[in-house]
Amino acid sequence: MFTTRLARIDDATSIAEIQINSWTDRGLKIASIDDLDHMSAQWAAAIQDQQGEGRIIVVEKDHSSTLVGCAGIVRSPNSQNAELILLEVLPAERRQQVGSRLTNACADIAKGFGADFIEAWIGIEEVAAIQLLEGSGWERTGAERLSSGMDSEYLREEVKLHTSLR
């Protein structure tokens, strides 16, 4: 039995651990990942101030009350949009509907903000996240974020997806 709920400050270290495990599983170099204490402190501050900033973090717990995933939504200022800013699931818990429950919780929160759409920038190599969102009815907008590669080539890094809440 899984449970989705709003994040609490005492979840900060678990959220950082989920992020580090997920990033490591996707091949990010450990040297590029902040240390656990630093990340935990950042999450604690973000969670403490989440209502005031229009940012809400949700977590998913398994039957043993271990956090297995996290997601975040932020209200876009002066807009009817919200942005999915975080979606991480422990590698061992993928394909268990954790990501779907987290994105659905974020959609409910965004509706509460009065948002008509949710958008997200997803790394082009994050195939599972793109498939999850597209499988849930999200569509690519055609927008891409590029980075400069060798010989001044531009490399596609992220694609933008969105979905309607109406």
Q: Which fold has domain 3-164?
A: Aminopeptidase (3.40.630)
Where in 7-153 does DSSP place strands (E)? 55-61, 67-75, 81-89, 117-123, 139-148
Spell out the domain ranges in the chain: 3-164
Q: Which pLDDT score is estimated for 156?
A: 57
Q: Which pLDDT score is estimated for 152?
A: 54
Q: Mean pLDDT by 10-residue block, N- to C-terminus, for the chain (166 residues)? A: 90 92 75 76 87 81 88 85 90 86 92 90 85 91 72 66 89
Looking at residue 53, what DSSP letter applies? Answer: H
What count of other Cβ atoms lies within 10 Å of the Cβ of residue 43? 24
Q: Which pLDDT score is estimated for 30?
A: 59
Q: Which pLDDT score is estimated for 138?
A: 92
Q: Which pLDDT score is estimated for 153?
A: 56
